[in-house]
Amino acid sequence: MENITALLEAMQAQIHELIERVDLDSKARRAADLEIEASAPDFWSNPELAQRVMQEISRLKGEIEHWNTIRARINDTLELAQLEDATLHEDLANETRQLQDAVEGLSLQTLLNGQYDDQNAIFAIHAGAGGTDSQDWALMLERMYLRWFENNGYKVEILDRSEGEEAGLKSVTMSIKGDYAYGYLQSEQGVHRLVRISPFDAAKRRHTSFSKVELWPDIEGDIEIEISEKDLKIETYRSSGAGGQNVQKNDTAVRLTHIPTGIVVSCQNQRSQTQNRERAMQILKARLFEIERKKRDQQIAALKGDIVSAEWGNQIRSYVLHPYRIVKDHRTGFEDANTDAVLDGRLSGFMEAYLRAKVNQTLAQPDAALDLEA
């Protein structure tokens, strides 16, 4: 019982420190101010703005309640442990283990303190050079991330999807909605490298395939970026997804090309061409916004001498299935030999290692530093 009491006392001190770090009091004040705003007679005169305010109130109150619930559970369990009742030992031990996991999760959440870390995300996967093998690898990555989204309670909406000619996936763009979606998924943007015996090679040779993951914050409301119509090439086409006869008869899907940057955005999941165009424009603004934000970050990092590149050709992570099996992140050194579990969505270890290294400024330059021929 002494060991349980000591663990709970340590957790009690830790949760107090974490609550101060996230400044829970300021979040409570923010929620109270928004509730006052929501009580104004003309609050719903702007439904879109009102909806965003109500969503922020709900998010803040949910976060505050979660922190307070964990704190109360720790305090209550500690009081019971201090009674030193042997009949409670097993129940207290189980509760203490659950609380340890909860506090660890909250500790990780405190690392997500960037400006857009609590936002929803736009998440994309693109097959690299390598034909069918790379397209199959992109499909494997899509499955891996869909498992992680499902296991962690995120809502996923496919915005655009292009399948490979023979197998696999050329690209997919998804909307990810849930707590701290952008913050957690930061660790995944960059080039992912697969080494395996190719199932498409009759000679059973080893192949290296590449796919790239891109990420943008899906910021609620209008993004302050002006896009001139003359800088846009707008194309319409028939959606390839589900939708019945409407999809077959109408060119509802929209593809926008931003001529100055060459950025191409497609959307085909909405019911009308107008809705698809509006959503595609929102995604284009998010991408341009992220480009400008990264430029500013790189300028600051250059002054500090701390630039971490995650561009095409710099592998952030390798998934080796032959001649041995391991998944290794080249920026943090974190690795997992259970490749099946990783490809089935066990990514939290990689995400946590990335966030901690980012906070401690120990991220290494991404590379392909494995003793393996390409």
The string of DSSP letters for 58-120 reads HHHHHHHHHHHHHHHHHHHHHHHHTTT-GGGHHHHHHHHHHHHHHHHHHHHHTT--STTTTSE
Q: Give pLDDT, residue 247.
A: 42
Confidence at residue 220, expressed as pLDDT on a 0 to 100 scale: 62
Q: Where do we find the tokens 């499902």?
A: 150
With cut-offs at 50, 70 and 90, classify the pLDDT of residue 362.
Answer: confident
Confidence of residue 297 (pLDDT cuts 50, 70, 90): low
pLDDT at 307: 39
Which pLDDT belongs to residue 290? 81
Residue 328, H or E segment: strand 326-329
The candidate with the shortest Cα–Cα distance to 134, out of 188, 191, 175, 174, is 191
C-alpha angle 45-27-151 in degrees, rounded to nearest 5 = 90
Q: How far is CA 199 from CA 143, 193, 195, 202, 373, in A?
A: 18, 16, 12, 8, 19
d(CA 67, CA 228) in angstroms, rounded, equals 45
16-30, 106-120, 155-169, 332-346: range with lowest mean pLDDT: 106-120
pLDDT at position 245 is 40
pLDDT at 373: 41
Under DSSP, is residue 214 helix (H, G, I), strand (E, B) or coil? strand
Instruction: Convert the pLDDT of each residue in 90-111 to its tens digit.
Output: 999 999 999 998 998 888 888 8
Q: What is the pLDDT at residue 279?
A: 87
Strongest mean pLDDT among 167-176, 236-245, 302-311: 167-176
d(CA 343, CA 137): 11
Average the pLDDT over each of 20-29, 64-73, 104-113, 253-262 and give the range with the smallest value.
Answer: 104-113
Supply 103's token pair. Answer: 């506090």
Alpha helices in the chain (DSSP H): 2-22, 24-38, 47-81, 89-109, 132-151, 181-185, 245-249, 273-304, 339-343, 348-359
Average pLDDT over the chain, rounded to an integer:
86
Whether 183 and 112 have beta carbons less than 8 Å apart is answered as: yes
* Model pLDDT, residue 32: 96
pLDDT of residue 343: 97
Taking the C-alpha atoms of residue 130 and residue 166, their distance in angstroms, rounded to an integer, is 13
Q: Work out the average pLDDT over 129-149.
A: 93
Per-residue pLDDT at 201 exceeds 90:
no
Q: Domains (ranges, CATH) in the chain?
A: 2-109 (1.20.58.410), 120-220+308-359 (3.30.70.1660), 229-304 (3.30.160.20)
Span of 31-35, 36-40, 191-195, 219-223 with lowest mean pLDDT: 219-223
- The proportion of the chain whose per-residue pLDDT surpasses 70, expressed as a percent, equals 89
- In degrees rounded to 5, what are phi and psi of residue 110? -65, -20
CB 324 within 8 Å of CB 347: no
* Percentage, residues of the chain above pLDDT 90: 56
With beta carbons less than 8 A apart as the criterion, state whether 135 and 162 touch.
no
Please tell me the predicted confidence (pLDDT) of residue 305.
45
